[in-house]
Structure 1
Amino acid sequence: MLEICTFRTTIGEWLKDFYDSTKEPFFGIFVFDEPYLVLKSPELIKQVLVKDFSSFTDRTVLAPKHDKLVSSMMFLQKSPHWKTTRPKMTPIFTSGKLKGMFPTINNIGLRMNQYIRKNLGQHEAKEICAKFSTDVIAKCAFGINSHCFDDEDAQFRKVGRSIFDFRWRNAINQTAYFFMQGWANLLHLNFVDKWATTYLKDVFWSVIKQREETNMKGNDLIDIIVDMRKNKGLCDEIQFETLRKYPVLPFLDRRCNADYQISGTNIVIEKGMPVYIPMLGLHYDEQYFPEPDKYKPERFSDKNAYNGDGLYYLPFGEGPRICIGERFGVLGTKVGLVHILSEFEIERTPDTPRTYKI
């Protein structure tokens, strides 16, 4: 764990190194004094994530007792609360809802092009993408305009930076949420800056209050929440591109909730044991992706050629806990790219690295 503890590598790259070091379908590691199982076999991964999901329903990452707001995030939620929340959120991502959001996302794409037109020259591509996605999420999830292309210091963009940009505070706290959960609870470490969650909470509830008072509809997440709040019984129950090379999450994690025997072996995954899936290792495995360091989008021209008997391409996860916003994210990405590429040529600058360092 030394490389992780000293922040000389990322968890995803660390697991990939282990992945590359063996031909076995799975192997064990110790994280401090706790044994973890790491899966390589696509067939076994499919068993854990899909077929036998009932034995691996929860992620290992901490849902903090000292922060009710963060522990209620669907990504961190544990069963049975997750099983209650997930079905109630899926209606926002139906085909009809996404179709209704398209004009909103398209208008944000137009504003992005206006911004680029006014500021032609060298740009940090990540920042432009972050402005676009922040505006899309703010409008489609919170029902407000975050004005990231109008104000370089927009408050919503500040929140995004505080959560996702590398800072020592983020590195220490968020690593503790995966590997030192006892300390994270004891020291009341926050996964996200408190001011950021407070700001988002205040914005969220002010918009909900306005919608309830005016009966306005926005075809967004707020509509779902407002409808849910009208069901008192339910409210009491829940207590209110590049994705192969650079996946959003470079690993997946599950915790075994019942003794589970690995098919074809005498090995039992004991209840409570963490199970990790090194997505970065799978996505760079030459067995599945020849010349893995090359960006070759044409390799995905036949979608049926992947994930047949097993799972090895998992940019959004898989199974019942697959990312709930997968189609929303893909739609936003496509709209953003179409707008930029329809009007501008993109070239690398002398400062652009040929190999992206995480």
Structure 2
Amino acid sequence: MALTLVLLASITTLLMAVAYFYWLRMNFWRARGIPHDKPSYLFGSFSGVSKQYSFAEIVRSMYQRYKGTGPFCGYFFFQRPAVMALDMQLVKNILIKDFSNFSDRGLFYNEKDDPLTGHLFFADSAKWHVLHGKLSSTFTESKVRGMFPCVRQKAQQMVVTLGEMLQRNSCVEIKEVMGRYTTDVIGKCALGVECNSLTNPNAECRTIGRRIFTDRRHGLLLSGLMQGFPQLARKLHMATIHPDIERFFMRFVRENVAYRLEHKVRGNDLMQQLMELSGCKKLRFRKIIVDALFCAL
């Protein structure tokens, strides 16, 4: 009986401590007198996202509401306090003068259990600086200019495809056409492969490209908690990328690298530059290729 009471008291104390910590976090901006919207305890400042509003609509509305009230306002990225810079000079300082203090993205990534999230857009601190330093040489003016003929070729093909679609139907979903064009450009410029999305709207690359934005590994609530508590999510070995999508891209890049090494193929594309950058001279797969590839994608 005594042991049961002690266990019950311990659990109650733990729950109260967690609730108090959570309450403190969700009152972070209120305690400091910083203007902000009243947050939802589950979704922070993004209540209704993906159901009623997009992220862009919520952020734009927030910016318009607080613009001119001060250099910045507060909001909650799900359960985490965040800042929206409203003053142009403050934005310049963050992005240029004081950038060394703001290199952390603060987003969830787990390169061990969810390797496709360990790229430049999500990486923090030292890892970001290492990746950025290695990748800067792959995006020089001359190397980017060398990819322009490919972009132009795909644009000409898109014009032909669009004309054929208009002959069949006067109403065309232009977003889908541009998505197919973008998929083909990325496939050719980054990987040196033909995705054929413009000629085949159900090509594998295009199908997977759609699923990136529609297939969630977890529901919105759990995804929000992972973004709100990224360190805890990493300790629990959680992942965000759907397993099918992860397997496709890992296989796609591995096969591409293996084919080039085996047949000594060189291409004027981003993948070739990344292979040279990583020193990929044997039949092996270096993680920097995945990091940089998904930064480009």
So what's the TM-score if we normalise by structure 1?
Answer: 0.58
Provide the secondary structure at the position in 1 that maps to 2:172.
coil
Paired residues for 1:283-294 under 5 Å: none
How many Å separate the matches in 2 of 1:171 and 1:125? 28
Quote the sequence identity (%): 25
**Aligned counterpart, 2:247:** 198
**Aligned counterpart, 1:14:** 58
Q: CA RMSD in A?
A: 3.1
1:103 and 2:149 matched: yes
Provide the secondary structure at the position in 1 that maps to 2:133.
helix
**Aligned counterpart, 2:74:** 28
1:170 and 1:191 in contact (8 A); partners too: no
**Aligned counterpart, 2:182:** 133
How many Å separate the matches in 2 of 1:239 and 1:127? 31
Listed as ranges, the gaps of 5+ residues in structure 2 are 1-38, 290-294
1:160 and 2:209 matched: yes
Deviation at 1:179, TM superposition (A): 3.1
**Aligned counterpart, 1:42:** 88
Q: Structure 1 residues 66, 99: CA separation in 2 closer, same or farther (over 3 Å shift)?
A: closer
Instruction: Give per-residue Cα distances to partners, 1:200-230, cap 9 Å, x unaligned.
Output: 1111111111222233221112212221332
Q: Structure 1 residues 130, 174: CA separation in 2 closer, same or farther (over 3 Å shift)?
A: farther
1:26 and 1:39 in contact (8 A); partners too: yes
Deviation at 1:174, TM superposition (A): 5.3
2:114 and 2:240 in contact (8 A); partners too: no
**Aligned counterpart, 1:229:** 278
**Greater Rg by CA:** 2
How many Å separate the matches in 2 of 1:48 and 1:39? 9
Q: Structure 1 residues 222, 138: CA separation in 2 closer, same or farther (over 3 Å shift)?
A: same
| Letter of the structure 1 residue corresponding to residue 211 of structure 2 | S
Which of 193, 218, 221 is 1:144 aligned to? Answer: 193
Provide the secondary structure at the position in 1 that maps to 2:147.
helix
Q: Select the structure that is richer in helix.
A: 2
How many Å separate the matches in 2 of 1:104 and 1:31? 39
| Letter of the structure 1 residue corresponding to residue 89 of structure 2 | E
Q: Which runs of 4+ in 1 moved over 4 A?
A: 30-34, 165-177, 186-189, 237-240
How many Å separate the matches in 2 of 1:107 and 1:207? 22
**Aligned counterpart, 1:270:** none
Q: Structure 1 residues 170, 126: CA separation in 2 closer, same or farther (over 3 Å shift)?
A: farther
1:159 and 1:196 in contact (8 A); partners too: yes
Count of residue pairs brought into register by the alignment: 240
